[in-house]
Structure 1
């Protein structure tokens, strides 16, 4: 594994941070909708539909008539849409039915550890000591950020659903980093979101996910906005922009490093919760955020050390 050149590292980190920021906004925007009577399934379905519609034309232009790419990668697109988009969301929503949101999120965000294991078993990319240390530091930081030290009740169904969400998130990181398929990031994101939207609509139609909506105004920390505005933000910013930049980051950084930088989503989620919902983070959460950043730095050092070791062994 060669060390990433600055021409890939810096843009990759920029895309990864922008993706984490975009994904981190989704919870706060959705919370306002949920408080007015929207179900989580309905909000996510509209979010994915809007994102697919926004990316449709740019994706077609990016494809430049190479429809054969989609046919050759039909399996990849299907897995991305069904597992990384729809499956991950559905599993997470079912998890929070049985357990606290923070606990479910923590389990889902063990995805970077799963990515390390996958890259090791499937591709022989054995993680170095620093990479493993970074994983532990970042995981402990998440425990503090999510304020779980006070104790939380666990349920077996909830844990299983959350592990399903973790598998979906890990799949997202691995597939986003693949450059061998030839699919432009816009095409992979748009086609995956389209399939994910279809899957969510089917899940709603058969009653797997409750679907109900409201046209009541939505309130955010004293400000009231029309119902369609947060939906537009969910679709354009937290889905279309987030997925495209996430794929772009994965292809520049690799799935392992990109998945750890994506942990910043938790920090951005806390920031937006403060700005939009008036929820202030506690001091222990600030410490946890620092540990997450430290874990990402250590992982990067581990990537560099692994690359150096690979270079000396050849």
Structure 2
């Protein structure tokens, strides 16, 4: 028997283990961006300039590999051009632009909390679009992970909500959910490297256009920045932002979503918030509190619950091989 769904086949244990490892690699890589960017912003860089360099340099790095992965199948790229455009505009440029717009009105904690409701949005989308009704374990795991996220982001200290900021954060959530849904779709035939390259190129161009028209402020500085009491040249974090937090993270994220499916991959990605707290501790000396550590454990427990729930999800059809 072969297990089939509209999202992705329920992974075999070895494939699932590999997928989770790759998803964690993507999450840890993504999470490094905040700790790397923070001292640069303090040094005078604008958020728009940091994001543009990050996405643009990643596009340059991944593009040759994405073209090579096509193996001359240009018709495959032409057929999926609308999908690549949506991926680049919503999942790459849109999510980045909307998040940085949100933090102009909200504190980072609540902005992240709203954006990271994306896994719940993915579950609802797969249910409404493909009839993949989540099981009890999936719902319970989502609830536990959500509670852990509240602790990790330390939102119980209290914060005020700005209507415009909430709207931008919700838009960022849509971009994040789009990332997981499109990344998990292997029916297009597009290699992960090609999808990542196309999305990064489209996203980089879109961010550049926003900068040229003045919507996204662009300001750069060449002053040295400091991490963990070590001073480094300004170009070092830029190189890491492009190579590790964008090129590696997007490619690994797409590959993981292909192995795990959009629902499970999106919940494993919640570990990005936990990793972000740890990176801030290591590089910026921002020590996480006890509640944040407890929250990290709850997020991991929730991911385990979602994984177990995937095995019994309603809507999975058994089709003879």
**TM-score w.r.t. structure 2 length?**
0.95
Number of matched pairs = 312
Which residue in 2 is equivalent to 1:64? 71
1:197 paired residue among 204, 228, 238: 204
The reply to whether residue 109 of structure 1 matches residue 122 of structure 2 is no
**Secondary structure of the residue that 2:103 maps to in structure 1?**
helix
1:98 paired residue among 81, 105, 113: 105
- Deviation (angstroms), 1:8: 1.9
**Secondary structure of the residue that 1:149 maps to in structure 2?**
helix
- Deviation (angstroms), 1:144: 0.3
CA contact (8 A) 1:3 1:308 kept: no
Within-5 A mapping of 1:134-145 = 134-145=141-152
CA contact (8 A) 2:132 2:315 kept: no
Which residue in 2 is equivalent to 1:275? 282
**Secondary structure of the residue that 1:219 maps to in structure 2?**
strand
Moved over 3 A (4+): 307-312
- C-alpha distance in structure 1 between counterparts of 2:43 and 2:227, whole Å: 12
- C-alpha distance in structure 1 between counterparts of 2:273 and 2:315, whole Å: 31
Which residue in 1 is equivalent to 2:291? 284
Which residue in 2 is equivalent to 1:173? 180
- Deviation (angstroms), 1:6: 2.4
Whichever structure has more helix as a proportion of its residues is: 1
Which residue in 1 is equivalent to 2:163? 156
**What does the per-residue CA deviation read over 1:254-289, in whole Å, with 9 as the maximum and x for residues that have no partner?**
000000000000111111101100000000000000
CA contact (8 A) 1:128 1:306 kept: yes
- Deviation (angstroms), 1:308: 10
Query: What is the aligned-residue RMSD (CA, Å)?
Result: 1.3
1:235 paired residue among 237, 242, 246: 242
Which residue in 2 is equivalent to 1:19? 26
**Secondary structure of the residue that 2:231 maps to in structure 1?**
strand
The reply to whether residue 54 of structure 1 matches residue 48 of structure 2 is no
- C-alpha distance in structure 2 between counterparts of 1:3 and 1:114, whole Å: 20
2:35 paired residue among 28, 37, 56: 28
Which residue in 2 is equivalent to 1:131? 138
Q: Which runs of 5+ in 2 are unaligned?
A: none
- C-alpha distance in structure 1 between counterparts of 2:290 and 2:166, whole Å: 28
Q: Which runs of 5+ in 1 are unaligned?
A: none
- Deviation (angstroms), 1:49: 0.6
CA contact (8 A) 2:98 2:168 kept: yes
**TM-score w.r.t. structure 1 length?**
0.97
- Deviation (angstroms), 1:310: 5.1
1:214 paired residue among 221, 224, 241: 221
- Deviation (angstroms), 1:309: 7.5
